[in-house]
Amino acid sequence: MRYFPNPFFSSTQIEIDNPQGLEAKIEIYNVQGQQVASKHFESGKTLLNYTWDAKDNTGNTINNGLYLFTVSFMSLKAHPKAYQL
């Protein structure tokens, strides 16, 4: 998994290797545990790319701070962090 730039200002690129081509989902949370954004990927893709534009699921620009990424492949999860300046 790669995410850059980090820290970021207006957007960050998230790249995830998915060698088995599993269905996947990226969820982004604020430090209060509230989901602010998500992206679903159908199965068959071995490299997942998502450019998060620092907006929530309703299109509002988020506040500066720490945001947590959760990546789910079927039942597997990873939890990296990203900082917005």
Q: Domain of 78?
A: 2-84
Is pTM beyond 0.85 here?
A: no
Q: What is the pLDDT along the chain (85 residues), one digit of tens a residue?
A: 888 888 888 899 999 999 889 999 999 999 999 999 999 999 999 999 999 999 999 999 999 999 999 898 875 665 666 666 5
43 within 8 A of 23, measured Cβ to Cβ: yes
Give the integer Cα–Cα distance in Å for 60 and 67.
15
Can you give the pLDDT at residue 73? 87
Count of domains observed in the chain: 1
What is the residue-wise DSSP string for 18-64? -TT---EEEEEEETTS-EEEEEEE-TT-SEEEEEE-SB-TTSPBPPS
CATH, residue 72 = 2.60.40.4070
